[in-house]
Chains A and B, each alone.
Chain A
Amino acid sequence: MHISQEQQQDVIVVAPRGRIDSTTSAALESHLSQVAKAGVPRLVVDFSEVDYISSAGLRVMLTLAKRVRDARGALALCSLGDSVRQVFELAGFLPLFSIEGTRDAAVRMVAAR
């Protein structure tokens, strides 16, 4: 899976591309766990290039949220397409994440915390 990454202010923005399913989620998980290793992780996951997320992908996001929470860091998701948003919604996970419409808004929100 192609994963791009950049830093905006002190926030790391990770943008996976394509499908996050049982085949690709392991690569994303290992990438995110590397990124979340930072002392106090401040992260944004940008979903603008993600077409689909399966329950395996949701698990990766839950694991990341837990890691960030345990380290007292901050995490926001942004730019969820309708179908990706629906998967979070179906599982009842929308209340667990800070979700912003744009990358800039998500970076601002994480930087402010």
Chain B
Amino acid sequence: MMLGKVIGEVWATKKHERLSGAKMLLVAGLEQSDGRLLPTGEVVVARDRMGADTGHLVVVTWGSGARKVFGLENDSSILCEAAICRIVDGYTDLEQLFDTQGGV
């Protein structure tokens, strides 16, 4: 899974029919450095049914995990490779956490 920030939305009318019915959001990947979250440069398109909006911190899940956000556990016909599975309220400063535990 990937931590990211929603930076925008994509619209497409010509698309695979199994892709209909959910917003597609642009999510910029983030990594932690010196206690700050900085962009990795990577941008992904994730489907959303959690109601995420531009500016939200979100967690993106991939593959069959993403399809489970969208439907029946065994329905492999859902076309979904990346989905937002949670909207983040807060996060731990990972470096501080690792420092107090003696580093990694």
Judge: A and B partners, yes or no.
Answer: no
